[in-house]
Amino acid sequence: MIRTDVIIIGGGSTGCGIARDLALRGIDHCLIEKGDFAAGATGACHGLLHSGGRYAVNDPEAGADCIAENTILQKIGRKCVERTGGLFVRLPGDSKRYRDTFLKACDAIGITTEELSPSRALDLVPALNPSLEEAIRVPDCSIDPFRLCMLNITSSQKRGGLVLTHHTVTAIIKEHGRCVGVTAREEITSDVKEIRGKIIINATGAWGDRVARLAGGSVPITLSKGSLVVTNHRITNMVVNRLRPASDGDIVVPNEAVCLAGTTSIPVTDPDGIGVDPGEVDIIATQAQEMLPDFAATRLIRTYAGVRPLLQSDGENGRSISRGFRIIDHRDGLFSIVGGKLTTYRLMAEKMTDTVIAVFGLKRPCRTAELPLEGQEELSGYPLSKRLKSLEDIVCECELVTADAVERVAGQVGTRYLGDIQHRTRLGMGPCQGGFCTYRALGIMQEKGKMTPEESMGMLRDFLQRRFKGIKPALWGDQLREEQLIESIYLGILNMEQEQ
């Protein structure tokens, strides 16, 4: 049995942020995550550090939180936030009145805006639709959500925080009406652990209601699926938004070596097993193409979807529901934190931790807004020049990941899954989507004794299925060529069958 003070369920940005905050305030804690970090909405968003512009008009409260947190994260995450800046572009036919409202709303909540002429905007982003009417510059930034989680967790682990990834919480233990612990099952071995704590925090986003129900509670959330597509290169170095009320396909975000374009908003009831519909891809591509005409000829290498856990309110659709957040005290030692956004994760963690501190009757101020994120010094960022230390032994040609890098990560304590390597090295994130390098990475992990050949075959099989699910909705053009090649490798050359 493991004993701790606070149990955090959920390894998304909120859970990881809470772990960091608790660690900095000296509270013993244990974080339990059923997959890898950022496996839910955190990792399935567009990696935008909102300026707040998107919400300024309809949801000024969330917009104000965004700009405040955006400023803080730029400061504490100097090396993990890319200060791309963002544009809201107005195309012919887009309402000029909305623009005026937008500028006023931004001003009211403190978002710095700059009105740009079409030629000035085209200087900044040459791929913009040349017939744009104008653009408004805002301090949007981009961020790698997985990395953000890892950096937050670094602070936790440095201070003795316990992290259990690939552990599913199967039950919440109640004694005398109070939640006193959980049981968690390891994904591969099915080993069950019991963890006891004084407070349990449910930071499971779209899975929030399910987890609350383990303790007999409930969480009022509405689930909204958002789908995105990944391009095989950067079309723009700035975030490009459409200057009009939020709608499908109104944003393109540069992130590392690619651009992410989205999104859609479709109500769903089950956060598991969601997928992207080819029709959604067509909508996103058509809309993105209006802002960036080159998008039409750009190869899409992947699609993915995440589920937004939105605070429930009656009669509203997914787009108009507030992006604000709430802490629910279930009054039995369980707290749920729901709603919010990646951009406001730190604020959410701060409020949640404040609540915990108050319960414990302590007075320890939050320092997460002042102290830089730990571990970011080692980050290289996306420029290839920095990753090209060695051309020798590259196993992932798309993202220039070397065998040494894979071996280093494979050799670390805790690395057990293919995803651990992919997230930590960006292996398999490029145009072939791991078609070549996955076989190699798993081969290296076998050599390192990190997994048995049976495990690696299982992972390879899962990987190929997940990969195909993500690629299938956008299979045409060059990506279809690539896919035929990958198919011929795994089903032809290697003759990999589905079942043993």
Q: In this chain, which of 18, 27, 87, 285 binds another protein, going by CB under 8 A?
A: 285
- Under rule CB under 8 A, residue 278 binds another protein: yes
289 binds another protein (CB under 8 A): no
User: What's the min distance (Å) between Cβ of 231 and another protein?
Assistant: 15
Query: Binder to another protein among 247, 313, 380, 452 (CB under 8 A)?
Result: 452
Instruction: Rule CB under 8 A: say whether 489 interacts with another protein.
Output: yes
Q: Shortest gap between Cβ of 410 and another protein (angstroms)? A: 13
Q: Give the whole-angstrom CA distance, residue 318 versus residue 303.
A: 20
By three-state DSSP, how is residue 404 classified? helix
By CB under 8 A, residue 335 contacts another protein: no
Check residue 453 for interaction with another protein (CB under 8 A).
yes
Residue 395 CA: distances (Å) to CA of 34, 231, 390, 400, 427: 29, 22, 12, 7, 8
- Which lies closer to another protein via its Cβ, residue 358 or residue 480? 480
* 444 lies in the site for another protein, by CB under 8 A: yes
Which structure tokens are listed for 21? 């905050």
Does residue 447 interact with another protein by CB under 8 A? yes
Q: Which of 35, 293, 443, 458 binds another protein (CB under 8 A)?
A: 443
Position 439 contacts another protein (CB under 8 A): yes
393: phi > 0 → left, psi -120 to 50 → alpha, else beta; which?
left
Q: Give Cα separations from 328 to 201, 209, 338, 472 (angstroms).
A: 10, 11, 8, 39
Residue 188 touching another protein (CB under 8 A): no
Which secondary-structure segment (H or E) carries 282? helix 278-291
Q: Does 468 bind another protein (CB under 8 A)?
A: yes
Is residue 481 involved in binding another protein (CB under 8 A)?
A: yes
Q: Which of 272, 314, 377, 497 binds another protein (CB under 8 A)?
A: 497
**Which residues, in sequence order, are CB contacts of 123 under 8 Å at separation 6+?**
none
Distance, in Å, from the CA atom of 263 to the CA atom of 244, rounded to the nearest integer, reads 14
Q: Does the footprint of another protein cover residue 488 (CB under 8 A)?
A: yes
Residues 6+ apart with CB under 8 A from 227: 262, 263, 264, 266, 276, 277, 280, 281, 284, 303, 304, 305
Minimum CB distance to another protein smaller for 256 or for 290: 290
- Within 10 Å of residue 97's Cβ, how many Cβ atoms? 8
Mark 71-110 with x for binding to another protein (rule: CB under 8 A) and - for no binding: ----------------------------------------
Our finding on whether 457 is near another protein (CB under 8 A) is yes
CB-count exposure of residue 299 (10 Å: 0-12, 13-18, 19+): middle
User: For residues 285 and 421, which CB has a smaller minimum distance to another protein in the complex?
Assistant: 285
Q: Kindly state whether residue 282 participates in binding another protein, applying the rule CB under 8 A.
A: yes
Q: How far is CA 58 from CA 63, 101, 106, 109, in A?
A: 9, 10, 11, 12
For position 276 contacting another protein by CB under 8 A, the verdict is no
> Does 390 participate in binding another protein (rule CB under 8 A)?
no
Is 418 a binding residue for another protein by CB under 8 A? The answer is: no
What span, in angstroms and rounded, lies between the C-alpha atoms of 145 and 258?
14
The residues binding another protein (CB under 8 A) are: 277-278, 282, 285, 392-393, 395, 403, 436, 439-440, 442-444, 446-447, 452-454, 456-457, 461, 464-465, 467-469, 472-473, 475-477, 480-481, 484-485, 487-498
